[in-house]
Amino acid sequence: MNEENQNSTNATHGWNGATRPFEPTGDPKFFYQSRQHVEALARLEYLITQQTMQMGMLTGEIGCGKSMVRQMLVNKLPADKLCVVQFENSGFNFTDHLRRLLDKFGLGDFAADKRGMYDLYELVAHCMAQLDEIYGRHLVLLFDEAQDLSTEVLTQLKMLTNLNERGEGALTIVLIGQPELREVVARVPAVDQRISLRYHLKPMMGEDVEPYLRHRMQAAGVGMDVFTKIACERIYHASRGIPREINRLARLSMEVSKNRGKKMVDEEEVHIVVEDLRRHQNMPSWNSITL
């Protein structure tokens, strides 16, 4: 396709190099307020602002939007009242987590000289006390991919919640992970009993897909509807309502439609994408999808 035709097709779709509505992003403007995601966000916000509930847990299938909920949560929490520390990867030992936490307090170099877990723990306890007594701020630890936490590390994290009982600060821990996180937590009864709030984020409903796609397009600056209603239905059934899969199918379907010089994405483009993915990976064929 020559440059003139390519530019014409891009204009037809309202598409340009800076417009990427279906790429992975933590930008809050792309957050779609489905009933499930709004509920998850509201419950976590309640858990943290109460400051007395110790631990909470958010689970969901891969690609359901847990990390986006986490990012939206951080954006909503008042920075003058809360100190939020995020752990994007949880599969480290307890000492590593303590050092990362101390690094957030500006004590990374000092913590590096502390080899024993006890010394690091006591230093964290001191920081928490100062955070509470001097600055009046509550500490929040968000552990993403928390299904990777070992039972040993989970047990050790419980020790941090004991600092609430010592009156040396205030802490809430939120575990965020895939469904197997529930089994991991259940193997540590002392932690399981401290989980004051639990929520499982389910895939989107079929009725959400069309407004979700429209929202992503508008957030990216594309003010027109590109997907036909039946294309949205096909995307929903093929993706099983999982946002990450919806994004992938939408992105690829738009590329197919653009290359074919079409103004809209309809069921034919979605079918081409799904069949191509089915041939190359374990994606269901149309014969196994109930429409």
Q: Are residues 49 and 156 in the same domain?
A: yes
Whether residue 236 is contained in a domain is answered as yes
Q: Are residues 161 and 238 in the same domain?
A: no
Ramachandran region, residue 203 (left: φ > 0; alpha: ψ -120 to 50; beta: rest) = beta
Q: Identify the pLDDT of residue 6.
A: 41
Q: What is the distance between the alpha carbons of residues 230 and 213, in angstroms, rounded to a whole number?
A: 13
Is residue 201 within 8 A of residue 58, CB to CB? The reply is: yes
Ramachandran region, residue 78 (left: φ > 0; alpha: ψ -120 to 50; beta: rest) = beta
Q: Are residues 129 and 220 in the same domain?
A: no
- Please tell me the total count of domains within the chain: 2
Q: Identify the pLDDT of residue 114.
A: 66
Q: Are residues 111 and 239 in the same domain?
A: no
CATH number at residue 153: 3.40.50.300
Q: What is the distance between the alpha carbons of residues 146 and 176, in angstroms, rounded to a whole number?
A: 5
Q: Identify the pLDDT of residue 231.
A: 97
Q: Are residues 230 and 146 in the same domain?
A: no
Give the global pTM: 0.86
Low-confidence ranges of the chain (pLDDT < 50): 1-15, 17-18, 290-291
Helix 206-219 / helix 229-239 crossing angle, nearest 10 deg: 110
| pLDDT tens figures, 136-167 | 899 999 999 999 999 999 999 999 998 887 65
Domain that holds residue 70: 30-201
Q: Are residues 124 and 216 in the same domain?
A: no
**CA geometry: angle 28, 227, 266, nearest 5 deg:** 150
> How is 81-133 classified by DSSP, letter by letter?
TEEEEEES---S-HHHHHHHHHHHTT-HHHHHT--SHHHHHHHHHHHHHHHHH
Q: Identify the pLDDT of residue 1.
A: 37
Beta bridge partners of 23: none
Q: What is the distance between the alpha carbons of residues 31 and 33, in angstroms, rounded to a whole number?
A: 6
Q: Identify the pLDDT of residue 75.
A: 94
Whether residue 87 is contained in a domain is answered as yes
Q: Are residues 162 and 41 in the same domain?
A: yes
Q: Are residues 151 and 265 in the same domain?
A: no
From 149, 167, 201, the end of a domain falls on 201
Whether residue 2 is contained in a domain is answered as no
Q: What is the distance between the alpha carbons of residues 137 and 84, in angstroms, rounded to a whole number?
A: 10
From 144, 178, 201, the end of a domain falls on 201
**CA geometry: angle 24, 29, 31, nearest 5 deg:** 65
Q: Identify the pLDDT of residue 215.
A: 95
Is residue 286 within 8 A of residue 271, CB to CB? The reply is: yes
Q: What is the distance between the alpha carbons of residues 68 and 74, in angstroms, rounded to a whole number?
A: 10
